[in-house]
Amino acid sequence: NAGVTQTPKFQVLKTGQSMTLQCAQDMNHEYMSWYRQDPGMGLRLIHYSVGAGITDQGEVPNGYNVSRSTTEDFPLRLLSAAPSQTSVYFCASSLGTGSTEAFFGQGTRLTVV
């Protein structure tokens, strides 16, 4: 089991560029989510999915899109990058958000200049 795999690990974008952060899990988990982590603010939920074809917004969804065409993959798209999106992004998966542990990827450090 690879767990949760995120690519790329590092990325630098220019303002206005678009890109997709990839996330894949091999644990057959229903629930997947994307967080951003900024100093002193903790992890904040961007979008989540409770299964293939079902997505919903989290706390800070503006500027990000997601889709879930398969159980395994949950990509995060930045349509027009802004400096405020400079952050570390984590993808996580779990059987559910309730009492089950979440497995996190290694993170993507994104810098928008």
Partner 1 sequence: EDQVTQSPEALRLQEGESSSLNCSYTVSGLRGLFWYRQDPGKGPEFLFTLYSAGEEKEKERLKATLTKKESFLHITAPKPEDSATYLCAVQAGKTSYDKVIFGPGTSLSVIP
Residue 27 binds partner 1, judged by CB under 8 A: no
Residue 11 binds partner 1, judged by CB under 8 A: no
List the interface residues with partner 1, window 70-109 (CB under 8 A).
90, 92, 96-107
Nearest Cα neighbor of 94 from 51, 64, 36 is 51
What lies within 8 Å, CB to CB, of 41 at 6+ separation is none
**Taking the complex as a whole, how short is the minimal distance between the CB of residue 28 and partner 1, in angstroms?**
17
Nearest Cα neighbor of 35 from 112, 95, 87 is 87
Contacts with partner 1 by CB under 8 A lie at 4, 31, 35, 40-45, 48, 50, 58-59, 90, 92, 96-107
